[in-house]
């Protein structure tokens, strides 16, 4: 089967040399049983290539299953992949077969393989090397004959250097690397793919066909398409349904394209100055921020003691004081008053007149809690409030994985 026949069979559109190269590699590796690691940005079509490899292999009559490793909770991923015995953990009311047992003789596509926990990575490595695995809660070794195709939009080599992915597993999966080119590297295919999507959707919704002006075609081709083919398909569907003018100009097309920005995938474990913090690094970051705030607060207090409080100095430091009241939750501070010409200070122990001369007195001060658990809890709460409860965005803000955030929310009993 030549490349054009494969395109026709699996609905692949385009004539880019990079795309043709990827299809050719998939065609050559399909008859073998070696593992394949498919890399590419989100939305570029990695799962389509896994189907190509399976359907052109000797296992095409066997089972095929796609598993999104990032969507399965860390505590149940081993059970999903390898099965479990009755009573092996809470809720295991009966024995269950895992994917490696169900798909014996077929193909398993492990999407987002870089999200696998380290313990599961060790189990997967054993399957790749010997075809053996053990159910959760069992001591009996079982055999399986499964071909593994893995995919990721993460720079796995960077994850290996960061200690988040096993190096031996990386080389075992990466026997044949298959890179899917992003849409922005296939500019000659963008307009062709768009026309196909628009034709499909206008036929589906029984609406008139859409034509692009020259400037709209230029905008379409030069846009970065961070979501790749998936994003292009969504835009085509929106235009087919919503656009009243069936001749689309660049100005009208711009309304359907989000502003470009952010990093391009594949994602790196560390991007520029933004770090993917470990739990220990996150706690250090909290402590350093606390220290910085305390130093600034001490400077402010010393200045007040030495120079007294005047409307000008109070007004100058009011924003910072308000910020401290908002950010430091354990200390229940009263609202900061607006600057006044005459400032009256009330002391619980001693009432002073408005024109008193301030003298430094040793008073008992309620100290802020320095518990790491409290600070970690506060930081997670603030991130969740900032992103209105969206845990994926909160995890990105904190620099940790979404799975780690779920676990911390459970451990800290945060509702």
Cα–Cα dist 141/301, whole Å: 68
pTM: 0.61
pLDDT at 202: 92
The answer to whether position 57 is within a domain reads yes
User: In terms of domains, do 21 and 169 share one?
Assistant: yes
Q: Are 210 and 248 spatial neighbours (Cβ–Cβ below 8 Å)?
A: yes
Tokens of 283: 């706690």
Q: Which residue, 254, 289, 311, sits at the end of a domain?
A: 254
Question: What residues have CB less than 8 Å from 191, skipping those under 6 apart?
Answer: 212, 217, 220, 221
Residue with tokens 């059970």: 79
User: In terms of domains, do 167 and 38 share one?
Assistant: yes
pLDDT at 60: 94
Distances (CA, A) of 178 to 32, 53, 78, 94, 181: 14, 11, 27, 40, 10
Q: Which residue, 193, 227, 254, sits at the end of a domain?
A: 254
Cα–Cα dist 285/400, whole Å: 13
Distances (CA, A) of 4 to 47, 146, 237: 19, 29, 26
pLDDT at 68: 94
User: In terms of domains, do 170 and 188 share one?
Assistant: no
Provide φ and ψ at 245, rounded to 5°: -85, 115
User: In terms of domains, do 40 and 168 share one?
Assistant: yes
CATH of the domain at 47: 3.40.50.300
User: In terms of domains, do 38 and 172 share one?
Assistant: yes
Q: Are 290 and 370 spatial neighbours (Cβ–Cβ below 8 Å)?
A: yes
pLDDT at 172: 93
How many H helices and E strands in the chain?
17, 9
The answer to whether position 411 is within a domain reads no
Q: What is the DSSP string of 254-298?
A: HTTSPPP-SPPSSBPSSBTTB----HHHHHHHHHHHHHHHHHHHH
Tokens of 232: 């292009």
With CA atoms as reference, report the closest residue to 235 among 256, 213, 262. 256
Cα–Cα dist 23/2, whole Å: 10
Cα–Cα dist 305/62, whole Å: 80
Query: What is the β-pairing status of strands 132-134 and 141-143?
Result: antiparallel
Provide φ and ψ at 147, rounded to 5°: -90, 135
Q: Are 309 and 342 spatial neighbours (Cβ–Cβ below 8 Å)?
A: no
Q: Are 124 and 232 spatial neighbours (Cβ–Cβ below 8 Å)?
A: no
Cα–Cα dist 75/296, whole Å: 43
DSSP, res 143: E
Tokens of 379: 């930081």
The answer to whether position 295 is within a domain reads no
User: In terms of domains, do 125 and 17 share one?
Assistant: yes
Q: Which residue, 254, 269, 297, sits at the end of a domain?
A: 254
pLDDT at 393: 87
The answer to whether position 264 is within a domain reads no
Cα–Cα dist 329/214, whole Å: 57
Q: Dihedral of CA 354/358/362/367: which sign?
A: positive
DSSP, res 142: E
| Tens-digit pLDDT string for the chain (415 aa) | 889 999 999 999 999 999 999 999 999 999 999 999 999 999 999 999 999 999 999 999 999 999 999 999 888 999 999 999 988 888 888 999 999 999 999 999 999 999 999 999 999 999 999 999 999 999 999 999 999 999 999 999 899 999 999 999 999 999 999 999 999 999 999 999 999 999 999 999 998 889 999 999 999 999 999 999 999 999 999 999 998 888 999 999 999 998 764 444 444 444 444 444 456 667 767 777 777 778 777 777 777 776 665 555 555 556 555 555 554 444 444 454 444 444 444 444 444 444 444 444 444 445 555 567 777 888 888 888 888 888 888 888 888 888 888 888 887 777 6
What is the count of structural domains for the chain? 2
3-state secondary structure of 154: strand
Longest C-alpha distance within the chain, in Å? 95
Structural domain including 234 reads: 183-254
């Amino acid at each position: 089967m030549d490349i054009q026949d494969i395109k026709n069979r699996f609905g692949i559109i385009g004539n880019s040399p990079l795309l043709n190269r990827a299809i050719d590699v998939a065609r050559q590796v399909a008859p073998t049983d070696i593992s394949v690691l498919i890399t590419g940005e989100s939305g570029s079509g990695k799962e389509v290539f896994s189907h190509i490899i399976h359907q052109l292999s000797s296992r095409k009559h066997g089972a095929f299953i796609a598993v999104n490793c990032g969507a399965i909770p860390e505590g149940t991923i081993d059970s999903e992949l390898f099965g479990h015995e009755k009573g092996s953990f809470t809720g295991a009311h009966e024995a269950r077969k895992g994917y490696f047992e169900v798909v014996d003789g077929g193909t398993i596509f492990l999407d987002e393989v870089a999200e696998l926990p380290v313990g599961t990575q060790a189990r997967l490595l054993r399957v790749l090397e010997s075809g053996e695995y053990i159910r959760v809660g069992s001591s009996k070794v079982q055999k399986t004959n499964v071909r593994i195709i893995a995919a990721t939009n993460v720079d796995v080599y960077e994850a290996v250097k960061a200690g988040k992915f096993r190096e031996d597993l990386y080389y075992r999966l990466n026997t044949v690397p298959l890179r899917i080119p992003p849409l922005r590297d296939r500019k000659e295919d963008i307009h062709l793919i768009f026309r196909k999507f628009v034709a499909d959707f206008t036929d589906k919704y029984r609406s008139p066909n859409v034509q692009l002006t020259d400037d709209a075609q230029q905008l379409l081709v030069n846009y970065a398409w961070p979501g790749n083919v998936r994003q292009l398909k969504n835009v085509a569907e929106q235009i087919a349904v919503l656009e009243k003018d069936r001749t689309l100009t660049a100005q009208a097309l711009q309304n359907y394209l989000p502003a470009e920005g952010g990093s391009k995938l594949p994602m790196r474990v560390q991007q520029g100055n933004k770090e993917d913090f470990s739990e220990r690094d996150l706690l250090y970051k909290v402590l350093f921020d606390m220290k910085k705030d305390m130093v600034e607060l001490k400077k402010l207090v010393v200045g007040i003691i030495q120079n007294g409080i005047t409307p000008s100095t109070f007004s100058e430091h009011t924003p910072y004081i308000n910020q401290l009241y908002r950010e430091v939750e354990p200390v229940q501070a009263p609202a900061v008053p607006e600057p006044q010409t005459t400032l009256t200070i009330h002391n619980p122990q001693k009432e002073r007149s408005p024109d008193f001369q301030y003298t430094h007195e040793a008073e008992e001060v309620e100290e802020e809690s320095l518990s790491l658990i409290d600070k970690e809890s506060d930081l997670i709460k603030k991130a969740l409030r900032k992103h209105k409860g969206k845990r994926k965005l909160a995890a990105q803000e904190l620099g940790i994985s979404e799975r780690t955030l779920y676990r911390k929310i459970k451990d800290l009993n945060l509702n």
